[in-house]
Amino acid sequence: MKVTKKFEPYSFGAMIENIDLSADLTADQISQIRSVWIDNQVVFFPNQKLTNEQFARFARYFGDYGEDPYLRAMPEHNHIVEVKRSKEEKTSPFGGTWHSDWSFLNKPPAMTLLYSKIIPPVGGDTLFASTKDACTELSSALREQVKNLSGIHSAMLPYADNGFYATESEERSMDIVTSKEARATQRHPVIKKHNESNFETLFVNPVYTVGIDNKDDIEAGTILSSLYEHILQDRFIYRHKWDEDTLLMWDNRSVMHMAEGGYDGYDRLLHRITIAG
């Protein structure tokens, strides 16, 4: 197993080569991969030929399947979601705004895995922002302001029955579920400790953090805008350019991410699994 870390100019991210993920892995290999993943937050494996069963088996090395409340999985693989967009579609890319997967849950997923099946020749990068590095370099004044605050998280903006996906006019090839249940809220500390490494991270994101506990909308909006402006500096961002047959996994506890477009007129298909927190 060959590990290449921290590609310039990025401060995080790693590539693991010389390992066949279609084969059974040893406990030592799994432990090493997990350690690289926690240290580097985003890890990818190029040139992997995987069946759905092999992809699912690899994911399960890292924990139980996570909950995917607003996406329908493949009927024959009820923990694999197809992240797809057809060449005819006019919709915006799924996941096209900065977020951390399902942060509105009581126990959000620790890990998300994506396996690339069809990749267009242009566009479609995935961007990651290190909320761990951003927290480490938070100004003392902003840290003091937010250190005891809790964010209010909800799926209401995209997934409520009056949310973005329920009201968009264009048809999607992805199977997205909308519901009034998406209006529910969940609170998480703004500065949250990673439960495996004990480092601190800024656990907020523009899609699912809809407010701050005990703050009015104006004050909450000002605080969140300051945090996002800090997190989304170039020095905290890693850009992943996709090739087919790549498996990528990231730590939802220490990064947020977004999907770029730029591939209109091309099919794109990835398979997705979440692992519970």
| Each residue's pLDDT tens digit, 162-187 | 999 999 888 899 999 999 999 999 99
Is 21's pLDDT higher than 90? yes
Structure confidence at residue 5 as a pLDDT band (50, 70, 90) = confident
Q: Coil, strand or helix: which one is 144? A: helix
| Each residue's pLDDT tens digit, 118-157 | 999 999 999 999 999 999 999 999 999 999 999 999 999 9
| Whole-number Å distance between alpha carbons of 111 and 196 | 12
Is 189's pLDDT higher than 90? yes
Which pLDDT does position 132 carry in this prediction? 97
| Whole-number Å distance between alpha carbons of 45 and 223 | 37
Compute the 3-state secondary structure of the chain and give helix, strand, coil in percent, each to the nearest 5: 25, 30, 50
State the chain's mean pLDDT as an integer: 95
Structural domains in the chain, sorted by start:
63-110+118-243+251-275 (3.60.130.10)
Structure confidence at residue 194 as a pLDDT band (50, 70, 90) = very high
| Each residue's pLDDT tens digit, 87-118 | 999 889 899 999 999 999 999 999 999 999 99
Nearest Cα neighbor of 72 from 155, 168, 176, 163 is: 176
